[in-house]
Amino acid sequence: MKIIREFEERLHVEIATGEIPGFTHLYAGQEAVAVGVCTALTDSDYIVSTHRGHGHCIAKGCDVGAMMKEIYGRRDGLCKGKGGSMHIADFDKGMLGANAIVGAGPPLAVGAAIACKLRGDGSVSVAFGGDGSCNQGTVFEAMNLAVVLQAPTLFVFENNGYSEHTGASYAVGSKDITARSRGFGMPAERVDGSDFFAVYEAMLRAVARARAGGGPSAIEATTTRFYGHFEGDPQRYRAKDEVAQQRQTMDCLKRFRESGALSPAELDGIDAEVLGLIDECVAAAKAAPLPPLSELTTDVYVSY
């Protein structure tokens, strides 16, 4: 969780310098969801991610240095600099890709779950999405198909309160993603997304059910994002003190520290180590070579 937090906080600073190209959506504030979910998975389980995907990548074990290089558009980035912040993938880790199309991921996750079911090794597949994506038809179709096929798919809805610049209380008509998920015929529960243990335990229940052939489940994690929809979003839709308050009351790292699971000294040690790691990643990314022009037309097809 600390790696994700520092990765994102540091990106927030570096993006302001203008050195990072494109469009970046930060995950800070939601760390307990990605980590609570992925801690219950192994490398043979799959996840599909979203435009706000850095946290999912890190939690699933993607190389943080190669991710940073990708975000800087460098040759040695995780996707050779061709994908960028919204398209990080690492198939060796079961990370089937971040996605810039809202709602595109859940059908892919159902497909991965079909593969898991056919392999019969108890693997599962997770579709991350937000409160925004839960209103896409593709998501409805994927949820129904997963129930029809009893495919081991876990739909994780990170309800951070906003679909881009519009509030979930407006855009989610039923105002209840958990109940809506149950309507598809799958078990669903709502958890406090700033509590790592709550997410992890809900996930253990859902994963155990899926691995045992019990089919799909949904988890709605209530959470918040500490930054805008994208970096540079003035967030005029948010009350001025909202984020400051949420950093006090909904900070999953603070909550974890208060849980006493690790001693303050242990946590301080981790924090120092993570700061060093992120410094190294940023320095390495800035110094890394750009992709050569010969890469422009490679990787379009397997065969040429």
Residues of this chain that bind other proteins (CB under 8 A): 21-23, 73-74, 77, 81-87, 99-104, 132-133, 135-138, 162-173, 235-240, 242, 290-291, 293, 295-297, 300
State the nearest-atom distance from the C-beta of 44 to other proteins, in Å. Answer: 28
State the nearest-atom distance from the C-beta of 282 to other proteins, in Å. Answer: 17
Of 293 and 302, the one with the shorter C-beta distance to other proteins is 293
| Helix, strand, or coil (residue 55) | helix
Separation between Cα atoms, residue 122 and residue 212, nearest integer Å = 7
Of 123 and 135, the one with the shorter C-beta distance to other proteins is 135
Q: What are phi and psi of 250, to 5 degrees?
A: -125, 25
State the nearest-atom distance from the C-beta of 2 to other proteins, in Å. Answer: 27
State the nearest-atom distance from the C-beta of 21 to other proteins, in Å. Answer: 4
Strand blocks (E) in the chain: 46-48, 125-130, 153-159, 162-163, 166-167, 188-192, 217-222
The kind and range of the H/E element at 70 are helix 64-71
State the nearest-atom distance from the C-beta of 255 to other proteins, in Å. Answer: 22
226: Cα separation from own chain's centroid: 15
Of 137 and 260, the one with the shorter C-beta distance to other proteins is 137
Of 172 and 253, the one with the shorter C-beta distance to other proteins is 172
Give the CA distances from residue 54 to residues 69, 192, 235, 236, in Å, rounded to whole numbers and listed in that order.
13, 21, 21, 24
Count of C-beta atoms within a 10 Å radius of residue 185: 13
Of 67 and 199, the one with the shorter C-beta distance to other proteins is 67
Token pair of 290 as six digits:
């750009």
State the nearest-atom distance from the C-beta of 290 to other proteins, in Å. Answer: 4
Separation between Cα atoms, residue 297 and residue 151, nearest integer Å = 37
Of 67 and 274, the one with the shorter C-beta distance to other proteins is 67
Find where tokens 């992890």 sit.
Answer: 200
